[in-house]
Amino acid sequence: MRPSHESRISRAACLASQNPASVPLLNFYSELARFQQPIFAEFNLKGGTDPRGLVCYFSALMKLVSRTGTELLADFAADHLQTAKSQLDLLVAAWEGKEALEPAARFYARVLLQPYAEYIASRGDIHTSGAGPSCPFCNARPVAGVLRGEGDGGKRWLLCSLCSTEWQYRRVLCPGCGEENKDKLPIFTASEFPAARVDACDTCKTYLKSIDLTKDGHAIPIVDEIATVALNIWAEEHDYVKLETNLLGM
């Protein structure tokens, strides 16, 4: 069950009040979640499985970015997303996932495709057991891990960066390279984020953060992952590369 956009927005406000340093990021995320909410609702109401239906939202997204986003994102839209064809080409390229997109292109595509992918994924049964390191529904990479207590199997789940599906994944197994040696998979924590940790791999030098729901039952991983960006900076200073960026490209 995916958290509603409403609950993501209120979680972002709650985390912003606790972490002054992450306020700008959380505010921008809230704007994006507010933007995604009616897109998800519209698909939910009317159905539809065609990502071309998302082209009509580009101009509103570009306005949002010019108001509250970075100059880099605004410039990218001004240079590359001025026609319906360029917008559609980007959506299709991102949805098919065949070519690597530059970060600004991925940002626009993901903001729009995420509610669409969440809607499509929410309609059917997805076989999440026995899944590998990529999403069993849309094949995107995970953006975070989620830890649950013994009552829920005491397992780690991975959270899809696109459709927000969660699937079980062994705790001691690197989703980047398959390393299983515990000594090569260090875990780092910081006292200011008691419910988050960095799961790193010394073999492929990637990391993902996990959100531990046994330590904070109110956490919403997609939002808490953004609020703990200080851990990204720490991990990257220690030469680890994030396995997959979040919606904000971090």
Residues of the shown chain interacting with Zn ion in the complex, contacts defined by CB under 5 A:
135, 137-138, 140, 160, 162-163, 165, 174, 176-177, 179, 201, 203-204
Number of residues assigned to the chain: 250
Closest contact distance (angstroms) between CB of 215 and Zn ion is 25
Question: Of 201 and 220, which CB lies nearer to Zn ion in the complex structure?
Answer: 201
Question: Which two structure tokens, joined as six digits, stand for 228?
Answer: 């703990």
Element (H, E) at 121: helix 103-123
φ/ψ (deg, to 5) at 28: -65, -45
Closest contact distance (angstroms) between CB of 177 and Zn ion is 3
Closest contact distance (angstroms) between CB of 170 and Zn ion is 13
Cα 199 to Cα 181: distance, rounded to the nearest angstrom? 13
Question: Of 153 and 178, which CB lies nearer to Zn ion in the complex structure?
Answer: 178
Closest contact distance (angstroms) between CB of 10 and Zn ion is 24
Question: Of 65 and 163, which CB lies nearer to Zn ion in the complex structure?
Answer: 163
Question: Of 135 and 195, which CB lies nearer to Zn ion in the complex structure?
Answer: 135
Question: Of 179 and 224, which CB lies nearer to Zn ion in the complex structure?
Answer: 179
- Three-state SS for 56-108 is HHHHHHHHHHHHHCCHHHHHHHHHHCCCHHHHHHHHHHHHHCCCCCCHHHHHH
Closest contact distance (angstroms) between CB of 140 and Zn ion is 5
Q: CB 18: neighbour CB atoms within 10 A?
A: 11
